[in-house]
Amino acid sequence: MTAEHIYLDYNATAPIRPEAEAAVVAALRVGGNPSSVHAAGRAARAVVEQARLDVAALAGCGSGAIVFTSGGAEANALAIHSAVKAGARRLIVSATEHETVLAGAQASGAAVELWPVDGRGVADLTWLKTRLGAWNPAEGAPFVALMLANNETGVIQPVAEAAALVREAAGWLHVDAVQAAGKMAINFKALGADTLSLSAHKIGGPQGVGALAYGVRAKLSPSLHGGGQERGLRAGTENLAGIAGFGAAARIAKSELSHQDAGFSAWRDAVAERLVDEAGVTVLGQGAPRLGAVLCLAAPGFASEMQVMQMDLAGVLVSAGAACTSGKVKPSRIVEAMGHEELAPYVLRVSGGWATRAEDWDRFADAWLAAYARHVERHGARPQPQYAGA
């Protein structure tokens, strides 16, 4: 990424914060193994534990409830693995979960059941209540996965309400909070989650480090064996530099929570209104609570990959949806689950973050509208404006 680019793909990865970069460099210079008892080892351990405090503060839990992992994917996998080891035989996964949760559940050996969402992308609580009310105890305690905020649409899910239903059924609720962290306040206890996953690079920390927060009801079982690191829950020498950067990013991100979202929402909504009025785009998730810096739109007939390419040529970096599909652009599974299959091949995700400015959104709108005008000139009529799920 160059200085000339406008970066609006924070949901894929956020640019590293200067504070996190400095923490990484400082940790590399410490040089010790956090498990060593000599001075260098103790210094390294102090770095890890300070970061644990900072990440715990961002998640709204105690530091003793944090286990560091290689990222959000491993944190999700650890929760699923542990639930199955604890006896879960059927896993309920919301239809718009991140691929690492859905694929992890499908690979677990347990049966997987999809929990439907409405046209806005919000999980159906009535369905969950009915399903848990008919639960077969022979399938073990229910395991339910519901992300806090969706990675493609930014839709915020009713996690606390779902948690109450899951607890009434003596189940385990796992919350993927990877996209929500640093963008909305998180209180682990108030959410009612049993496990909750986080990732450093979504909040301006380094890639390759994450964490799982866990409560007293969650019985974690390590999937990496052979060492006593992370209280015996994850063998292997800790990623000292990555953890240090994670802690620094978490600390700064938490300090920004009180003032950033209103501005993000205003910038996004102004651009969305302009694109609806001038190009008839569909806004996905409209009418549901959403993260302020995420805009998911669809322009029927204007293929996702062409939109991404045109924006790239204009120096604006956005994506067609989740960035976890090996660089392939394919119809959005999330939009299909929302009941908008006809829009799935035409989705674009625009996401800002800690270094985004209002003019970045304006430049995106100008570039997108210019590209769309060229597309209409070549291919014909524009769609009528609509709001998906409204």
Active-site positions read: 324
Partner residues linked to 175 by β-bridges: 196
Calpha distance 335→154 (Å, rounded):
12
How many angstroms from the chain centroid is the CA of residue 289?
A: 15
Distance CA 159, CA 4 (A): 39
Cα separation, 132 vs 139, in Å, equals: 12
Which among 22, 18, 12, 10 has a CA at the least distance from the CA of 357? Answer: 10
Q: Which residues contact 366 (CB under 8 A, 6 or more apart)?
A: none
State the Cα–Cα distance between residues 250 and 262, nearest whole angstrom.
20
Closest listed residue to residue 281, CA positions, set 296, 267, 265, 262? 296
Nearest to 292, CA basis, from 155, 385, 192, 387 = 155
Q: Which amino acid is at 293?
A: A
**Please, are residues 35 and 41 in contact by the beta-carbon 8 Å criterion?**
yes
